[in-house]
Amino acid sequence: MDTTTLEKLPGLFQLNDLALQNFKSTIHGQVIMPADSNYDETRKVYNGMIDKRPAIIVKCANTEDVIACVNFARNNNILLAIRGGGHNAGGLGICDDGLVIDLSLMKDIKIDATAKTVSVQGGCLLKELDAATHEAGMAVPAGIFGTTGVSGLTLGGGLGYLTRQYGLSIDNLQEAQVVLANGSLVKASATENPDLFWALRGGGGNFGVVVSFLFKLSPAHTIYGGPMLWHIDASAEMMQWYHDFITKAPENINGFFAFLTVPPFPPFPEHLHMKKMCGIVWCYTGALDKAEEVFKPIRAIRTPALDFVGPMPIPALQTMFDGLYPPGLQWYWKADFAKELNKEAIELHAKYGSGMPTPLSSMHMYPVNGAASRVNKNDTAWNNRDANYAVVIVGIDPDPANNDKTIAWAKDYWNALHPYSAGGAYINFMMDEGEDRIKATYGDNYEKLVEIKTKYDPQNLFRVNQNIKPQMS
Ligand SMILES: Cc1cc2nc3c(=O)[nH]c(=O)nc-3n(C[C@H](O)[C@H](O)[C@H](O)COP(=O)(O)OP(=O)(O)OC[C@H]3O[C@@H](n4cnc5c(N)ncnc54)[C@H](O)[C@@H]3O)c2cc1C
């Protein structure tokens, strides 16, 4: 047994050994502390720029463990972080000095083929969810990297290849099991605790620990998709075409616009290695025998320099970029929503896109129109239903020595484009940008979120997130 005393740990000096030992003895999963050999490995999150040192990490085995952690943190006034997949841009799945509820052991997935639903525990990654639902010939709309956590992605909204057809992940959420700040376990759905259910759909980790989600399943199995790239010189022309196309396209055609650098290894053709490109990563879910016909006019706009678009199982598309971006890289994120994309904005995109400072740096522009825009902006906490795009600019490199230049590029790019944005940004693409940005994101839903936060978490126990502060009495 680890004999580290909590008195020696910053932030937890008020606890005695007995309280810690009692707490540890209730946990069915694993308790990991700084003296443990796996501490450094366990505290790592996806973004290598984040280097936090929690006092205790609890890998919860079950809901009872989560409840024990919530009660222990609340009763002893310990900072509490919740870790789903650990992918958060700003590293909000971990904290310094506090207690981390790590859900990575809680991975149950149950499909009900008759009801067309899937129940997913809070520690699942998207690739695990996709693999399970694919076997049933269906999918839940989610993100474009398999290594992302279902939990954090969903609670922030959840956008990806199926957004235009089936909406955001939250639009497909039917129920959540939540451990509240007072340690009780409740269900949130349209009929039970509907205010909590409203807030969970976009309000992030502010309201409790979601131990499991129940999603509606939709048909999607083998899609026609993948990346189609053009030389960076064609950026302005292709972005204009993309905007005209994707704002009117049938909803079974999804594709996000990107700037990227072609990796220097197969299967990428040698003559394109390390070339900066613009591109669209497509996902067409319509009839496969019609796909070539659907994409013929797209290919005719301008011959792609690289065309990897073809039929593939949806999990293959959803994990296509996982290997290119392993955990531990340095990521600096800037984001905005955009409604319009006028000529000036397109020219600025083309200028900064051609100036990407490192081979892994990128810009993604995800369409959030189609089915996602048909939900009323006050029906869930996610207030950005009238945006056409969630834009994210990411300066990325393995070497921290390059952080100055990746950060400068991302900030300059964002500053130039921000005047053309819709106000606010997708909370899952933001680092720490302060309360005003959070308010701008939630718009006229913010006040209601504060009310619900005050009701369910009046002491702001859950504050390692894009925090909605409760009203102080
Ligand atoms: C490489 C990469 C690709 C991405 N692609 C997409 C994409 O395609 N679409 C998209 O929408 N987003 C995408 N994102 C953003 C992603 O949605 C966020 O990073 C999200 O926070 C990740 O969730 P997580 O569970 O992995 O994060 P974590 O870091 O574990 O947690 C993030 C936040 O969620 C809270 N949280 C986590 N689990 C729970 C829970 N069970 N209950 C309550 N609160 C919880 C935490 O408190 C924290 O504030 C991507 C991120 C990365 C790094």
Percent of the residues in the chain that have a pLDDT greater than 70, as a whole number: 97
Shortest-distance Cα residue to atom 41 of ligand 1: 210
Residue with tokens 């909204």: 157
DSSP state at residue 372: G
Q: Taking 60 as the threshold, does the pLDDT of residue 278 lie above it?
A: yes
Q: Which atom of ligand 1 is nearest to the CA of 426?
A: 11
Burial of 444 (0-12, 13-18, 19+ CB in 10 A): exposed
CA 74 / ligand 1 centre spacing (Å): 24
Shortest-distance Cα residue to atom 23 of ligand 1: 152
Q: Taking 80 as the threshold, does the pLDDT of residue 473 lie above it?
A: no
Q: Which atom of ligand 1 is nearest to the CA of 81?
A: 47
- Out of 6-20, 118-132, 245-259, 430-444, least confident range: 6-20
Q: Taking 70 as the threshold, does the pLDDT of residue 329 lie above it?
A: yes
Q: Which atom of ligand 1 is nearest to the CA of 209?
A: 42
Total length of the chain = 473
CA 389 / ligand 1 centre spacing (Å): 19
What element of type H or E holds 158? Answer: none
Tell me the two tokens of residue 420.
């053309």
- Measured in whole angstroms, how far is the alpha carbon of residue 82 from the centre of its chain? 14
Which residues line ligand 1 at a C-beta cut-off of 6 Å? Answer: 46, 82-89, 92-93, 103, 122, 143-145, 148-149, 151-153, 155-160, 204-205, 209-210, 325, 428, 464-465
CA 88 / ligand 1 centre spacing (Å): 5
Mean pLDDT of 138-167: 98
CA 323 / ligand 1 centre spacing (Å): 18
Tens digit of pLDDT for each residue in 217-248?
Answer: 999 999 999 999 999 999 999 999 999 999 99
Q: Taking 50 as the threshold, does the pLDDT of residue 44 lie above it?
A: yes
Q: Taking 50 as the threshold, does the pLDDT of residue 2 lie above it?
A: no
pLDDT attached to residue 12: 56
pLDDT attached to residue 3: 40
Chain-wide mean pLDDT for the chain? Answer: 95
pLDDT attached to residue 99: 97
pLDDT attached to residue 308: 97
Tens digit of pLDDT for each residue in 363-388?
Answer: 999 999 999 999 999 999 999 999 99
Tell me the two tokens of residue 30.
């694993």
CA 238 / ligand 1 centre spacing (Å): 30
Tell me the two tokens of residue 123.
């520690």
Cα distance between residue 311 and residue 285, in whole Å: 10
Tell me the two tokens of residue 161.
């290849």
Q: Which atom of ligand 1 is nearest to the CA of 169?
A: 11
Cα distance between residue 166 and residue 196, in whole Å: 23
Q: Bigger pLDDT: 222 or 10?
A: 222
* 3 state SS of 219: strand
Tens digit of pLDDT for each residue in 392-409?
Answer: 999 999 999 999 999 999
Q: Taking 70 as the threshold, does the pLDDT of residue 98 lie above it?
A: yes
Mean pLDDT of 327-353: 97
DSSP state at residue 125: B
Shortest-distance Cα residue to atom 38 of ligand 1: 84
Q: Taking 80 as the threshold, does the pLDDT of residue 1 lie above it?
A: no
Q: Which atom of ligand 1 is nearest to the CA of 103?
A: 41
Q: Model confidence at 15, in pLDDT bands (50, 70, 90)?
A: low
Cα distance between residue 85 and residue 123, in whole Å: 6
How many Å is the maximal CA-CA distance in the chain? 72
CA 429 / ligand 1 centre spacing (Å): 9
Residue with tokens 């990563």: 281
CA 151 / ligand 1 centre spacing (Å): 6
Cα distance between residue 367 and residue 387, in whole Å: 8
Tens digit of pLDDT for each residue in 452-470?
Answer: 999 999 999 999 999 999 9
